[in-house]
């Protein structure tokens, strides 16, 4: 059936040819509806959710129509159930259980901090094939979510998005993906900075202090050797730091995994078309940043029409939200909005007072206690 909205916003486009005005209308988009039977999924011969998701995504991959998903036994239809489908699939793709069945991500436990990043390729051919197939499905899911304007809540690591887009990835991009490895490199970088200050002309150090710093750095570097087997000193410290940074970045060189993601994206749209966006923009479109400041919370959490803006309870709720970590914020949003993504400013969380009659006053006693 036909309906407005979806991939393009309905509206009027006014053009001008010579001295004549012309009114154009954006045509309505076709909507295609699919029903999912998710009751007892995975049991009694029922398809699990991921089987439904893969079938739907592959069938709709080349279509530019608006995808509507409904759930058997539920009356809802339209944007709500469709958003539920994308969010449930994203949650499955990032779940620990799915990752144990098909080792796709490095560590899903750290996903709330740095985002999801593919694991190394397994040596077993069957496991490798299964992993690359899952990454192609993830690429297809990402492209379809972007095409449909859905925010599924799939938090991908920014270095992964940069790799998919063909951007250069440096040490600063990947250092948070392996904190132990990065800590060792960062310590050597500190010694390099100390050495540079000591040897820099006009660095504000006396000659004796400079010699003391150089001696200290050489002592700390005493057990290290570079790739040529040479002892590392202040004289060859700079190329050694570059070597460490290069080796750290190389650990996250995943050409086969990136190619699998691109192949999945290509089933919907050319992956190079995503290069018009910055990596952080794509990350926002797929996940929605829940790092909110005080100003953002004022727009996100608003008092109802019966309460003034400076109401103490509303201010307290904003302070509580600001103190939460990412996991707590996502849990709060899921509880209040049934979504893990931050709502738009045009659809804020409205806080209303709840009035409860005092037991002492009973019915008809008037008044009552007011709380959030």
What is the Cα–Cα distance from 260 to 139, expressed in whole angstroms? 8
Q: Which two tokens stand for residue 7?
A: 């991939």
Name the residue among 370, 350, 345, 346 with its Cα closest to residue 303: 350
State the burial class of residue 105 (Cβ atoms within 10 Å of its Cβ: 0-12, 13-18, 19+). Answer: buried
Vertex 330: Cα angle to 140 and 132 (nearest 5) = 25
Spell out the per-residue pLDDT of the chain, length 372, in tens: 434 333 333 333 334 444 555 555 555 568 888 888 866 555 555 678 888 899 999 999 998 888 888 888 887 777 788 888 998 899 899 888 888 888 899 876 555 678 899 999 988 899 999 999 999 999 999 999 999 988 898 889 999 999 999 999 999 988 888 888 888 899 999 999 988 888 775 556 778 888 888 899 889 888 888 888 889 989 899 999 999 999 999 989 999 999 999 999 999 999 999 999 999 889 888 886 656 666 667 777 777 776 666 677 778 888 888 888 777 777 787 787 766 666 666 667 777 666 555 555 444 444 444 455
Question: 257 phi and psi, to 5 degrees?
Answer: -70, -40
What is the Cα–Cα distance from 158 to 91, expressed in whole angstroms? 18
DSSP alpha helices (H): ranges in 102-236?
A: 111-114, 125-148, 158-165, 171-174, 179-199, 207-220
Name the residue among 208, 209, 216, 210 with its Cα closest to residue 233: 216
Name the residue among 142, 178, 133 with its Cα closest to residue 161: 142
C-alpha torsion sign, points 221, 227, 231, 235 = negative
């Amino acid at each position: 059936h036909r309906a407005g909205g979806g991939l393009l916003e309905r509206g009027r486009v006014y053009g001008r040819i010579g001295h004549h005005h012309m009114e154009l209308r954006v045509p309505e988009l076709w909507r295609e509806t699919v029903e999912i039977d998710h009751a007892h999924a995975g049991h009694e011969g029922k398809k699990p959710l991921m089987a439904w998701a893969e079938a739907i995504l592959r069938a709709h991959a080349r279509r530019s129509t608006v995808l509507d998903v409904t759930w058997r036994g539920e009356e809802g239809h339209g944007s709500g159930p469709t958003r539920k489908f994308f969010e449930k699939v994203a949650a499955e793709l990032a779940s620990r259980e799915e990752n144990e069945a098909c080792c796709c991500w490095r560590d899903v436990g750290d996903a709330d901090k740095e985002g999801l990043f593919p694991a190394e390729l397994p040596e077993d051919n069957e496991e490798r094939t299964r992993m690359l197939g899952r990454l192609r499905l993830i690429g297809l899911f990402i492209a379809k979510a972007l095409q449909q304007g859905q925010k599924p809540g799939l938090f991908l690591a920014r270095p992964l998005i940069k790799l998919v887009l063909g951007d250069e990835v440096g040490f600063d991009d990947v250092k948070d993906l392996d904190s132990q490895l990065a800590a060792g490199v960062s310590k050597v970088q500190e010694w390099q900075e100390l050495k540079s200050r000591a040897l820099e002309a006009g660095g504000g150090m006396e000659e004796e202090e400079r010699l003391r710093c150089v001696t200290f750095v050489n002592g700390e570097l005493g057990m290290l050797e570079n790739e040529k087997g040479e002892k590392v000193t202040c004289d060859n410290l700079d190329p050694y730091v570059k070597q460490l940074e290069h080796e750290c970045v190389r650990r996250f060189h995943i050409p086969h995994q990136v190619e699998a993601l691109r192949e999945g994206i290509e089933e919907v749209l050319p992956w190079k078309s995503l290069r018009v966006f910055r990596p952080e923009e794509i990350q926002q479109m797929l996940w929605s940043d829940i790092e909110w400041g005080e100003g953002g919370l004022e727009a996100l959490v608003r008092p109802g029409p019966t309460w003034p803006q400076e109401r103490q309870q509303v201010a307290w709720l904003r302070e509580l939200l600001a103190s939460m970590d990412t996991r707590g914020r996502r849990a709060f949003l899921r509880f209040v909005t049934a979504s893990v993504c931050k709502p738009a400013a045009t659809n804020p969380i409205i806080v209303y007072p709840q009035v409860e009659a005092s037991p002492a006053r009973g019915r008809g006693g008037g008044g009552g206690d007011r709380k959030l």
